[in-house]
Structure 1
Amino acid sequence: DLSIEVDDVDAALEAMQAAGFAIEYGPADEPWGVRRFYVRDPLGRLVNILSHR
């Protein structure tokens, strides 16, 4: 539903986990040059958090 590019995926992942968000996918280093993970927002929308390598 939504993609958000961040400077540090691993820091964003730690923050999401600390806030209690369930990680739906990843973290993964994709072959097309992004590192990403997915979470769901409180309304159930899938959010792709990523950075380009």
Structure 2
Amino acid sequence: MVAAPDRAGWFPLAAPALRALRLGEVAPHQLALVALVPLAFGALTALAWDRLRLDR
């Protein structure tokens, strides 16, 4: 397990698997954090690509 059982649901990458294994330990608001991971990394990737200069 990634963290203590009472706090593992707050780790967004492990929350879906933890919910599948132990249905009552992960709340719906903790699963909502899973959607933020691709949004955050997508925004960071777009920012990095916007700053990228290929004509140096």
**TM-score normalized by the length of structure 1:** 0.25
Greater strand content: 1
**TM-score normalized by the length of structure 2:** 0.24
Higher relative contact order (CA 8 A, sep 6+): 1
Higher alpha-carbon Rg: 2
Greater helix content: 2
